[in-house]
Amino acid sequence: MKGDRIFLQILRGAALVSLLILAGFFLQLFSSAWPALKASGISFFTSTNWDPNQQAFGAGAFIYGTVVSSLLALVIAVPISVATALCLTDLFASRVAAMISFLVEMLAAIPSVVFGLWGVFVLSPLLRSTIQPFLAERFSWIPLFSGPPLGIGMMSAGIILAIMITPTLTALSRELFLAIPTLQREAALALGATRWEAIRVAVLKSATSGLWGAVVLAWGRALGETMAVTMVIGNRAQVSPSLFAPAQTLAAVLANEYAEATDDLHLSALAAVGFTLLLVSTLIHWGAKTWIKRRAQT
């Protein structure tokens, strides 16, 4: 029928547009990044010297900052999210669980810039005045807790990121736990396991490989988070072992410098930073998805 054919053509057009957008995305980023990548070669990724005034463009410090801040976020968020998900599926009455999961979803709806605002005016001062001095006093022999307590820096970025990925991680792990048959839990209890032992043996153990997928997916999320991190990480391109020190991430440097850059090579170097971020987040997302899918088939 004629109407059907026209309708399908319209839909095909829309679908084609979305394909073109993705292709354009990669092409545009790569072509703007190319001059800088050609100029600096491999040292673009290994050098930590980023100084636009000296035409020195090494993204090493940003890569370091991105990896460390997101890993710190995972270290904090994974136990909390898994605990929350277990509470929702195995501990709380369904009405309480529904309320808690509603609250967690509300947390997910808060815009990034608001987390940043809260981080700058509430979390960082708290870290500077109370938590970091305490850590510095007790654990200053660990390089992670050395240096002056500044508040703004890697630690506040990690904590803010942890808060931001907790809803995603909780929802993902909750679905994994829900998929485990109740019979399995009952079997463990019937064998004389305590409640915790039943959770550990019947729930956590069977969900472990799925949890890895969820963690990697959340990691991909944390890598690309921009606004909140920009506001609390201190924006300094340096590699320091201390969590108190300011740092910089790939996404944050884009938000900070792109709109103000005028020099061609500087712009291209920033595009190269963006292209790196695109590749990394795409690979991580795709890898985690394949992992989860393969697990679901077996």
Partner 1 sequence: MKVSPWFDRWRKWKSRAALLLLVGGCGLAVLPLFAILLHLIRQGASALDWAFFTQAQKPVGELGGGMGHAILGTLAQVGLASLLGIPLGLACGIYLSEFGARERQGAPGTRERFASPVRFALELLASTPSILVGVFVYGVIVVPMKKFSLMSGALALMLILLPLVARTSEELLRLIPQHLREAGLALGLPRWKVILSVVLRSAWPGVWAAILLAMARIAGETAPLVLTSFGNPSFSHAWDQPSASLPLQIYTYAISPFEEWHRMAWAGALTLVLTVLVLNAITRISGGSHERRRHD
Min dist. Cβ of residue 18 to partner 1 (A):
5
Residue of 141, 259, 262, 298 that binds partner 1 (CB under 8 A): 259
Measured distance CA(158)–CA(249) in Å, rounded: 11
C-alpha dihedral, 190 to 196 to 202 to 203, nearest 10°: 140
Is 79 a residue that touches partner 1 (CB under 8 A)?
yes
Name residues contacting partner 1, limited to 193-252 (CB under 8 A). 194-197, 199, 217, 220, 223-227, 231, 251
51: Cβ–Cβ under 8 A, 6 or more apart, which residues?
none
* Nearer residue to partner 1 within complex by CB, 147 or 289: 289
What's the sign of the alpha-carbon dihedral 265, 266, 267, 271? Answer: positive
Q: Pick the binder of partner 1 from 91, 142, 189, 191 (CB under 8 A).
A: 91
Q: Name which of 226 and 242 has its Cβ closer to partner 1.
A: 226
Selection from 228, 268, 276 nearest residue 250 by Cα = 276
Q: Which of these segments, 47-55, 115-123, 138-146, 149-157, binds partner 1 (CB under 8 A)?
A: 115-123
Task: Indicate which single residue of 29, 157, 161, 188 sits in contact with partner 1 (rule: CB under 8 A).
Answer: 29
122 contributes a contact to partner 1 by CB under 8 A: yes
Q: Are 235 and 141 in contact (CB under 8 A)?
A: no
Cβ of residue 194: shortest distance to partner 1, in angstroms?
4
The residue from 36, 163, 176, 188 that contacts partner 1 (CB under 8 A) is 163
- 39 touches partner 1 (CB under 8 A): no
Answer yes or no whether residue 32 interacts with partner 1 by CB under 8 A: yes
Phi-psi bin for 148: left (phi > 0), alpha (psi -120 to 50), beta? Answer: beta
- Interface with partner 1 includes 118 (CB under 8 A)? yes
CA atoms of 64 and 199, how far apart (whole Å): 37
110 binds partner 1 (CB under 8 A): yes
Residue in 59, 73, 82, 157 binding partner 1, rule: CB under 8 A: 82
Buried b (16+ CB within 10 A) or exposed e, 56-72: ebbbbbbbbbbebbbeb
User: CA angle, corner 81, sides to 126 and 107, nearest 5?
Assistant: 65
Applying CB under 8 A, which of residues 63, 104, 180, 243 lies at the interface with partner 1? 104
Min CB(241)–partner 1 separation in Å: 26
Strand partners, 116: none
CB of 65 or CB of 167, closer to partner 1:
167
Closer of 6 and 183 to partner 1 (Cβ) = 6
Q: How far apart are CA 238 and CA 185, in angstroms?
A: 49
Tell me how far, at minimum, the Cβ of 180 lies from partner 1, in Å.
16
